[in-house]
Structure 1
Amino acid sequence: MTVKLKGSSSSDEEDLPLSSTIPRTKRKIEDSDDEDIKSGSVITAANVKREEDKSYDSDLALSKVASPKKKVVKRGKRSSSKVAGRSLSSTKQKGIKKDSRAQPPKKISKRESSVEQQDADLDSISNEASQDADDFKWWEKENDDDSVKWISLKHNGVIFPPKYEPLPSHIKLYYNGRAVDLPPQAEEVAGFFAALLESDHAKNPVFQKNFFEDFLDVLQENGGPRNDIELKTFELCDFSKMFDYFQLQKEQKKQLSPQEKKRLKQEKEEFEEPYKFCMLDDRKEQVGNFRIEPPGLFRGRGAHPKTGKLKRRVYPEDVVLNLDKEAKVPEAPDNHNWGEVRHDNTVQWLAMWRENISNSFKYVRFAANSSLKGMSDYKKFEKARQLKDYIDPVRKDYMVNLKSKVMLERQIAVACYFIDVFALRAGGEKADDEADTVGCCSLRYEHVTLKPPNTVIFDFLGKDSIRFYQEVKVEKQVFKNLTLFKKPPKQPGHQLFDRLDPALLNKHLQNYMPGLTAKVFRTYNASKTMQDQLDLITDEGTVAEKILKYNAANRTVAILCNHQRTVTKGHAAAVQKATDRIEELEWQKIRLKRAILQLDKTEAKKNPNYFAEVKDLVKEQELLIHKRVIEKEREKFTKKFARENEKRKFDNEPPLPDSQLKEWMNKVDELESEYKREVETGKVEVKTSDVDKLKAQVEKLDQRIENYAIQLKDKEDNSQVALGTSKINYIDPRLSVVFCKKYGVPLEKVFTKSLRDKFKWAIESADENWRF
């Protein structure tokens, strides 16, 4: 058999022995459950879709296609005044009132000098102090005074959403076929609904009812329609013209070049920079949510009775600032006044306001990586860790009290059992205008089903309206007590623990340990479970295999805490993409083995099992892989051509000639022809005669295939379990640090950059022998 050899490869090409057809996958199958989803979110502009994968790796890239050299253009830094004005004017958010109380984009420059002065004040306080902030190891300090949180606090206030910009005159709400001339305040609220026209929210009758009531209120507050059309029925309202306009805007935003998106992002960041940091005890520390929430329509979780209601705009007069007495008070925007300025060093917030949906307070706090937030996390986990010294008497007592002659003591005992064994939240009473979610103390008759001899079925909506459904076996005395608690005349709707509430339960728990509450049990049991699971892991296998074991341990905790999530819409597509990638890597490996046999036929006799899979790839399957690979190559170069031209346009350079794209496509045609010849002749075109090099490439592919298979299994296992919530909020972060240090796993495999900043105290204070 004649083997066609290509020129000897350079050292850079040793990983690509077969016409550059061995994939070098750069991206991993990623999971997205590191971030918590917050309830009560507001309708905002749709996110811009991320740019497509820039490479189907150079995996199947053609032998180094050189892209034309580009001229490097150096750009100067824009002035902050231009940046601030352009940044906000390009962001069209909506408000409720027409007056100038909201912070308008074009008027930011009026207070620019004061903002710059504020920022200068922060920087000039102590450059050395700000530089030393990262080295401040607060966890090594002793602070016996929990009441005083800070000595000095200076900041630049908060950012308000820009005021509403009315729609073009030809874009209207229609009522019974007639265009309605709305005042801007009402037009904005109508726009909130119009933007959601094709969503599930807009189809929800409760959402429609609440929105329409608040919309009519705003309309009445501002004099009603200007053309005297009376709106009475929601069903006669036609929001389609407004919806189409918003869709067009979204499409235009998507069409922006990467350079333009980058420029807008940079301008936004430069405008926000003065608000991102504060001076806390002469240290420069990061601020968390420094933006005031924009107005919008409340959604809530699950069947929330207030879904669709209007979240009204917040003005400076609604905001309370908190800083030290010596600090310069930031200027309120547009000649407004702050609602109040406080100097309370016993709290950890910089600003607050009351929102209108649930009449609760919203706070601007320090960022997750700040020292005060770190102290709070540290104390929470230390409190849970302290429980291990008290848990035995707690458990002994509640087991004894299961037979108490006092009904309240029996109810406390069963509640403690549920909270300890099944990690139930304490629960509390809900108002009629809140979602019907429950915890242990607020369980009702219908939430617990008894199945003799000792099986209990829990079925209720927990926090964030997430269903808690478990069928569990309990102690016989617990089962007997539940039967007693459900005894007639109790019926559906009645409280299971009719003599107990969270305050009473927590008061009882504090007899055992200062500060012990039902919440501490969840943190304790989550961390204890993680410790037990990590103790089962052995120091064997690759990093990917160890991460799989770590995630399995984390998943055990997440299941215990009922941290569920719905399967994402893109999950099936992501799994299919990963499966295709593995199949293509397997195909690459088979091609390498075919090449080895072409170079040395005796290899098949030396190790027949090594080459067994060569015969497993059928012709039809190989053709499908070829087609998929070629399609990806064509798509890659088409996008590359468009991307290069966008960059050149942004840099005022001439576009690439069409001949460049044609040249790239000709290379893809050559690759397609090569694959076709392989199928017809059964021969692989190789560019090395070194069998050992090919075997080394096979070994690398085996490792990559194994890693992808592990990640795919992990992704499928975690599709309905939210690992992030337990990892961030319930598992002591020192346990994750111990795992990484003990088993040689890079910390970035477990904690993102933001989490490494947040848990710096855990990373630096725990060694591989630390135990919860």
Structure 2
Amino acid sequence: MSSSEDDLPLARRPRKSNGRAVLPEKIDPAVDRKMEEESMEIDGAHAPGIAIDPAKVSKVINGTSSKRKAAAKPAIKDESDSEDEPLSKRRRTVNGISKKPLSDESDSDDIPLSSRRKSTKSMKEESESEFEDDDVPLQKLSKEKKEIEKAAAKQATKEKSTPKGKAVEKATPKTKSATKRKPKQESPSEASDSDVPIAKQRKTAPAKKTKAKKEEDEDVPLSAKGKKAKAKAEPAPKKAAKGKAKVKEEEEASSPEGDEEADEEYKWWEAEQNDGGQKWETLQHAGVMFPPPYETLPKNVKMKYDGVPLFLAPEAEEVAGFMAALLEAPQATDQKFLDNFFADWKKVLKETGGAKDKSGKVIKIDSYDKCDFRPMFEYFASQKEIKKNMTTAEKKEAKAEKAKIEEPFQFCQWNGRKEKVGNFRVEPPGLFRGRGEHPKRGMYKKRVTPEQITLNIGKEATVPPPPKGHKWGNIVHNQTASWLAMWTENINNNVKYVMLAVTSSLKGQSDFKKYEKARELKKHIETIRREYTQDLKDKETMVRQRATAIYLIDKFALRAGNEKGDDEADTVGCCSLRYEHVTLEEPNLVHFKFLGKDSIQFDQVYTVDKQVFKNLRIFKKAPKGPGDDLFDRIQTKHINDWFKAHMDGLSAKVFRTYNASWTMQQELSRMLNVGTVAEKHAAYNEANKKVAILCNHQRTKSKMHDSQMEKKLYEIKALMYQKWRLKKMILSLEPKLKKKKPEYFNPDAEIDNEEWIKEHQQWLIEEEQKKIEKKFAKDNEKLVEKGEKEMKAGELKERLKALDVMKKEFAHENKTGKVEASKTATVEKLEEQIDKLEEKIQVKTSMMKDKENTSEVSLGTSKINYIDPRLSVVFCKKFGVPLERIFAKALRDKFKWAIESVDENWEF
């Protein structure tokens, strides 16, 4: 310890805890002043809230140092390529920032086709011009974020001044319970313990899981925390908007089967909501579906060890097969994965009598490198090929057989209603993969037996029979729990639950409560931001660290984070950040680099307020170093306790949901109802992308992304070639048009290549041959199904003669440059076909731009889990966009409550 530190009072000295450096309880005023003075010397601070490409950051500092020179602005190199390069490889610059080629994570504007489209002032082009750079224009995003925060503060003041009943009534026009009832305050005894393993519930009985504890466990599925109550059906409110749902209700009322259908489509959002702890009164289900038993390999298929075929017990053979199936997967080169597998497999070998040669002699297995799984791998590959080549009739039969087996498990009777069950299948055995660099990857995930299963079922219900020769581990009747079955897996000792499907009323109510809680935050957000901003300068280290962490959670949507054990993946959140995860660069840049949720690399540079930057410097001050906690005085609990003190039920996750939904609301309010459906959908995606960026919903670019982009580009070029041939047909009818519109009859630059044209023609011939052969095989299958004779090979040969005609046409076209039109063709008809092709090209180009623009941003995460689905419904109703464009069938079922409970005027 330095002499200056020796002079400090004990409470102010840095200390070590469990070998890690910990800051003193109070910030030393001298250090605070020194940091403040040094900050004043630094000029050129960026506006806070901006995300910057980490690759463009120059000099960095760690912790504190002596006086420093002002850091230069991030250098951005202009690497515009030569005009002589192919269009698909060229770079372009926007505001001096280099744009990469399409194949190298470029912006979608690099697609050469876009340069040939006519310029319009559509909403789509306006939104695209705002987001040309993949990093998002820094000043613009910062400005918009500030505007959104100001609007949020203004709305919060408005919410406070508006009578509570009226405000809620406006927010939820179709839910009576939401407009008239005050939220019920739960006591700890009323909280659900549905997520606690039965063994732990018995140990802690009669106490239940407290509300505070529930809110800490933010990563537990919402469905496991939702409350289900007795629902008393009542008429739909008068304010309900009439639409398809209303017409359907009227039709059901007049139908003799209306009552039965109404039971299947229970509209809980139009019924009285009860927030009691009891989830159900009656519950009947069929238990769980176990994976099929292992089938041993044919006798001629044996793995080898040092060249000797091995005879293994079924369980040992099964585990070896798991590794054999991954022989050409990335796991086969992951040393940690291989070490864990080999260690567990040797245990199984020991338990099952070991590996033997054909004479019965035990072979000692002590080296993975001597193991040859190739015979097993080749057998599995051949089985896949057989399955792939099944006829349509065989596939239908297999599918029907599978559906018949699964049918009893797919639904349950919940309070007398038919509800769909979600994950009714017990996880099959295999090799654990985990997320990212999980230390247990490759370990043997054992087969689950009925003796490990606990069923939750009604007292009066019939207990489903277990598989023959087995019995259930336990039968309980826990009416406060929402799970139907549970067991503990052997890798991480995590409890696995069978829950209702996402389309069930229970899951819907859980989602509804989550978003309503986020909406409630509107009333408190101004106070919260004002108070944590004041705390950024507090003398208490804990208070200042807490305020800084809350700032990061608010501004950059970092997750709160929890402590991880040595046997878990090293994923971190805000509170568990360590010294090495944060790098500082003057004047106010913070580089975060760590493994986030699901072991996805979080690598972002942000600009922060100067006070926050100063705080982070203090928190990284010596003697801290790599391995030490950045926020050493706080835990996730401190963050959540502070949130709950400002609003009941508030947590870091609610904060993220609020920021996502509020931002989307502001983006939708700026949209203009102009353009085509495709353009409006593109504008929605741009708004969704902005939310995803602000919430840091990243994803790793797909390994197939570049090849998919090349395929889409080829499809577009194929349409261009087809369009060019139609124009040649027009000239065969009206040659004089060439002089009137010479540019119109020139081919697009992308296909003005004789070599590519010939290659494409060959591709068209090959594709046509595949179609003919596939159609011939399908026609034969239909004949066999009808009991008739198959067509002979001569018929196929006759059909393939069409290929000769195509070849002659292409040869004539390449030689003369002319394409003959059919006898029935007219210039008008051909022009109509060209216009349709133009539309297809534009749609495909737009889709390609969309895909490229979001290759490393997860729109689904924001749209499904953080943006209130009612906002997406409002967008569709207001702008006339089919809901199918936004939500797939599964999501339309999941968010049925949102679809039928709001009109186009609803606001978050």
Residue 396 of structure 1, CA deviation: 0.5
Whether 2:506 is the aligned partner of 1:376: answer no
Q: Compared with structure 1, are the counterparts of its residues 224 and 580 closer, same or farther at alpha carbon in structure 2 (3 Å cutoff)?
A: closer
Indicate if the aligned counterparts of 1:593 and 1:614 stay in contact, CA closer than 8 A.
no
- Residue identity opposite 1:531 in structure 2: Q
Q: Distance in 2 between matches of 1:590 and 1:237?
A: 58
Q: Distance in 2 between matches of 1:160 and 1:627?
A: 50
Q: Which residue of 2 aligns with 1:358?
A: 492
> Superposition pairs for residues 739-750 of structure 1, below 5 Å?
739-750=875-886
Moved more, 451-460 or 210-219: 210-219
Q: Distance in 2 between matches of 1:181 and 1:592?
A: 66
> Superposition pairs for residues 249-264 of structure 1, below 5 Å?
249-264=383-398
Moved more, 566-575 or 155-164: 566-575
Whether 2:430 is the aligned partner of 1:302: answer no
Q: Which residue of 2 aligns with 1:738?
A: 874
Indicate if the aligned counterparts of 2:600 and 2:700 stay in contact, CA closer than 8 A.
no
Whether 2:278 is the aligned partner of 1:148: answer yes
Whether 2:547 is the aligned partner of 1:416: answer no
Q: Distance in 2 between matches of 1:486 and 1:246?
A: 54
Residue 128 of structure 1, CA deviation: 7.6
Indicate if the aligned counterparts of 1:133 and 1:285 stay in contact, CA closer than 8 A.
no
Q: Which of the numbers 825, 830, 833 marks the counterpart of 1:697?
A: 833
Q: Compared with structure 1, are the counterparts of its residues 510 and 248 closer, same or farther at alpha carbon in structure 2 (3 Å cutoff)?
A: same
Q: Secondary structure at the match of 2:791?
A: coil
> Superposition pairs for residues 215-254 of structure 1, below 5 Å?
215-225=345-355, 227-254=361-388
Q: Distance in 1 between matches of 2:748 and 2:274?
A: 70
Residue 602 of structure 1, CA deviation: 5.3
> Superposition pairs for residues 468-483 of structure 1, below 5 Å?
468-483=602-617
Q: Distance in 2 between matches of 1:129 and 1:442?
A: 54
Q: Which residue of 2 aligns with 1:637?
A: 772
Moved more, 134-143 or 299-308: 134-143
Q: Distance in 2 between matches of 1:634 and 1:176?
A: 47
Q: Deviations over 1:130-156 (max 9, x none)?
A: 532343211122323241222211111
- Residue identity opposite 1:201 in structure 2: Q
- Residue identity opposite 2:722 in structure 1: Q
Q: Deviations over 1:240-273 (max 9, x none)?
A: 2222222222222222222212210110001111
Whether 2:789 is the aligned partner of 1:654: answer yes
> Superposition pairs for residues 107-256 of structure 1, below 5 Å?
131-225=261-355, 227-256=361-390
Moved more, 719-728 or 327-336: 719-728
Q: Distance in 2 between matches of 1:186 and 1:357?
A: 18
Q: Which residue of 2 aligns with 1:38?
A: none
Q: Please report the TM-score for the alignment, with normalisation by the length of structure 1.
A: 0.80
Q: Distance in 2 between matches of 1:492 and 1:651?
A: 74
- Residue identity opposite 1:309 in structure 2: M
Whether 2:563 is the aligned partner of 1:429: answer yes
Whether 2:800 is the aligned partner of 1:665: answer yes
Q: Please report the TM-score for the alignment, with normalisation by the length of structure 2.
A: 0.69
- Residue identity opposite 2:799 in structure 1: W
Indicate if the aligned counterparts of 1:366 and 1:373 stay in contact, CA closer than 8 A.
yes
Q: Distance in 1 between matches of 2:447 and 2:260?
A: 35
Indicate if the aligned counterparts of 1:637 and 1:665 stay in contact, CA closer than 8 A.
yes
Q: Which of the numbers 509, 526, 531 marks the counterpart of 2:643?
A: 509
Indicate if the aligned counterparts of 1:594 and 1:614 stay in contact, CA closer than 8 A.
no
Residue 737 of structure 1, CA deviation: 1.0
Q: Distance in 2 between matches of 1:175 and 1:700?
A: 62
Q: Which of the numbers 606, 615, 620 marks the counterpart of 1:486?
A: 620
Q: Secondary structure at the match of 1:333?
A: coil
Q: Which of the numbers 700, 708, 711 marks the counterpart of 1:577?
A: 711
Q: Which sections of structure 2, spanning at least 5 residues, go unmatched?
A: 1-256
Q: Deviations over 1:189-222 (max 9, x none)?
A: 1121122122221221211121122112222223
Q: Compared with structure 1, are the counterparts of its residues 183 and 587 closer, same or farther at alpha carbon in structure 2 (3 Å cutoff)?
A: closer
Indicate if the aligned counterparts of 1:349 and 1:364 stay in contact, CA closer than 8 A.
yes
Q: Deviations over 1:87-138 (max 9, x none)?
A: xxxxxxxxxxxxxxxxxxxxxxxxxxxxxxxxxxxxxxxx987532343211
Indicate if the aligned counterparts of 2:450 and 2:473 stay in contact, CA closer than 8 A.
yes
Indicate if the aligned counterparts of 1:129 and 1:282 stay in contact, CA closer than 8 A.
no
Equivalences, count: 647
Residue 607 of structure 1, CA deviation: 5.1
- Residue identity opposite 1:358 in structure 2: N
Q: Distance in 2 between matches of 1:130 and 1:451?
A: 66
Q: Compared with structure 1, are the counterparts of its residues 206 and 623 closer, same or farther at alpha carbon in structure 2 (3 Å cutoff)?
A: closer
Q: Which residue of 1 aligns with 2:95?
A: none
Q: Deviations over 1:687-723 (max 9, x none)?
A: 3353322222222221111111111111222222222
Residue 630 of structure 1, CA deviation: 2.0
Moved more, 436-445 or 630-639: 630-639
Q: Distance in 2 between matches of 1:380 and 1:620?
A: 58
Q: Which residue of 1 aligns with 2:905?
A: 769
Q: Distance in 2 between matches of 1:611 and 1:171?
A: 63
Residue 658 of structure 1, CA deviation: 1.9
Residue 609 of structure 1, CA deviation: 5.2
Q: Secondary structure at the match of 1:285?
A: strand
- Residue identity opposite 1:282 in structure 2: G
Indicate if the aligned counterparts of 1:626 and 1:675 stay in contact, CA closer than 8 A.
yes
Indicate if the aligned counterparts of 2:716 and 2:845 stay in contact, CA closer than 8 A.
yes
Q: Distance in 2 between matches of 1:619 and 1:220?
A: 66
Q: Distance in 2 between matches of 1:235 and 1:508?
A: 55
Q: Which of the numbers 305, 315, 319 marks the counterpart of 2:453?
A: 319
Q: Deviations over 1:643-679 (max 9, x none)?
A: 4334545655422222222222211221221232233
- Residue identity opposite 1:569 in structure 2: K
Q: Distance in 2 between matches of 1:729 and 1:632?
A: 41
Q: Distance in 2 between matches of 1:619 and 1:359?
A: 63
Q: Which sections of structure 1, spanning at least 5 residues, go unmatched?
A: 1-126
Q: Distance in 1 between matches of 2:752 and 2:339?
A: 59
- Residue identity opposite 1:141 in structure 2: A
- Residue identity opposite 1:551 in structure 2: N
Q: Distance in 1 between matches of 2:827 and 2:740?
A: 14
Moved more, 572-581 or 455-464: 572-581
Q: Distance in 1 between matches of 2:817 and 2:514?
A: 65
- Residue identity opposite 1:208 in structure 2: L
Whether 2:815 is the aligned partner of 1:680: answer yes
> Superposition pairs for residues 558-573 of structure 1, below 5 Å?
558-573=692-707
Residue 285 of structure 1, CA deviation: 1.1
Q: Compared with structure 1, are the counterparts of its residues 357 and 147 closer, same or farther at alpha carbon in structure 2 (3 Å cutoff)?
A: same
Q: Secondary structure at the match of 2:498?
A: strand
Q: Distance in 1 between matches of 2:452 and 2:687?
A: 46
Q: Which residue of 2 aligns with 1:349?
A: 483
Q: Which residue of 2 aligns with 1:712?
A: 848
- Residue identity opposite 1:419 in structure 2: I
Residue 748 of structure 1, CA deviation: 0.6
Residue 314 of structure 1, CA deviation: 0.9
> Superposition pairs for residues 42-53 of structure 1, below 5 Å?
none
Q: Secondary structure at the match of 1:470?
A: strand
Q: Compared with structure 1, are the counterparts of its residues 590 and 179 closer, same or farther at alpha carbon in structure 2 (3 Å cutoff)?
A: closer
Percent identical across equivalent pairs? 54
CA RMSD of aligned residues (A): 2.1
Residue 633 of structure 1, CA deviation: 1.2
Whether 2:468 is the aligned partner of 1:338: answer no
Q: Distance in 2 between matches of 1:728 and 1:506?
A: 24
Moved more, 754-763 or 518-527: 518-527
Residue 442 of structure 1, CA deviation: 0.2
Residue 397 of structure 1, CA deviation: 0.6
Moved more, 551-560 or 460-469: 551-560
Q: Which residue of 1 aligns with 2:400?
A: 266
